[in-house]
Amino acid sequence: MKISVLCDVKPLLGEGPIWDVERQRLWFIDSLGRRIFRCTEQGGEMAAWTVPSPIGSMALRRAGGAIVALQDGFHALDFDSGELRHIVDPEPDRPGNRLNDGKVDGAGRFLCGSMDMGETDPTGTLWRLDPDLSLHRLEDNIICSNGPCFSPDWHTLYFADSFTGKIRAYDYDPETGNPSNSRTFAALPDDRGGAPDGATVDSEGYVWSACVFDGRIHRFAPDGSIDRVIEMPVCKITSLAFGGPQLDTLFVTSMAEPPLPRHPGDGPLRGATFRIDGLGVTGLPEPRFAG
């Protein structure tokens, strides 16, 4: 196994890596720096886009461009022109919230949760944006939505409210996009004060979770037991995704500056995006939003 720096553009809050199978490019975001980045698997040909407010996540679209989850709701982004088209603001009555992490399911729906920007109050909601652009509320009373991802057969949804320290599993109906039977899937070790952040599922059905403020990546077996632990060069890792031509490279984002002063700092590699090679594991292609 080899951990190396892919690129170091110093995002304030690096997040949301997505491997674009069609273009063979990695996308990731700077949530608080309001930027979207795209590069090759070696970190070259870097391109960037700026958005007008904090961005929690994005989903590539089958029709081109992306759906971006900004502080004031969901927007459609045209990469060629840079034009944004507002779709819907799910929480206009909650100015202390913003949209955060999200993923697309097998039918092309975008699941995205919100968070309390003060990271203290359970004012967040897990939302589902359907291809017809209708919006559906799935769960409430969340402090910080993170790590939505799906089992290879799309019948299990994994999701974390980070500050509970636990990843939850739900039965997921791929026909309707509705979750049920919420239960604890895994609890992250709390010996370093970390919390479950971004997550992905590999082709064997194992869940990979970035433990922010902890600096460790955990691979969980389908029964919730810890299968593997990887120590990263920085503490504030945020999210991860498999990519590369064979989907066997793990890309890991991190933050340069913690959003709240109570969180620890990192060394000179803070904010870097890393790649991990030689894991002997492959990921799954990321679906595109169908709308």
Structural domain includes residue 291: no
Active site residue 190: no
| Residues 186 and 167: beta-carbon distance below 8 Å | yes
Query: Which residues make beta-bridge pairs with 104?
Result: 110
Question: What gap in Å lies between CA 74 and CA 66, rounded to an integer?
Answer: 10
Beta-bridge partner residues of 124: 142
| Predicted local confidence at residue 167, as pLDDT | 98
In whole angstroms, what is the distance from residue 115 CA to residue 246 CA?
A: 34
The Cα 173–Cα 235 span in angstroms is: 36
Tell me, yes or no, whether 287 lies in a domain: no
The pLDDT of residue 266 is 82
The confidence score (pLDDT) of residue 284 equals: 98
Q: What's the token pair of residue 284?
A: 């799954």
253 domain-assigned: yes
Residue 263: its pLDDT value, please?
Answer: 63
C-alpha span between 110 and 87 (Å, rounded)? 13
How many domains is the chain partitioned into structurally?
1
First and final C-alpha spacing in the chain? 38
Nearest to 35 by CA among 59, 61, 53, 21: 53
In a domain, 79, yes or no: yes
Instruction: Give residue 271's domain range.
Output: 2-277
What's the Cα-to-Cα distance from 104 to each of 33, 92, 93, 197, 228, rounded to whole Å? 23, 23, 26, 17, 26
Evaluate whether residue 195 is within a structural domain. Answer: yes
- Residue 261 is predicted with a pLDDT of 61
Residues of the chain scoring pLDDT < 50 = none
Closest Cα partner for 237 from 107, 146, 127? 146
CATH number at residue 203: 2.120.10.30
Which residues does the annotation place in the binding site? 15, 98, 100, 146, 197
Say which amino acid occupies 264: P
Q: Which residue, chain included where needed, has tokens 């919100």?
A: 114
Complete edge-to-edge strand list for the sheet that includes strand 110-116: 97-104, 110-116, 124-129, 135-142
Numbered residues of the known binding site for substrate: 98, 100
User: Which among 105, 161, 197, 214 is annotated as catalytic?
Assistant: 197
Structural domain includes residue 200: yes
DSSP state of 12: T
In a domain, 197, yes or no: yes
Rg (CA), the chain: 17
286 found inside a domain: no
What pLDDT was estimated at residue 188? 87
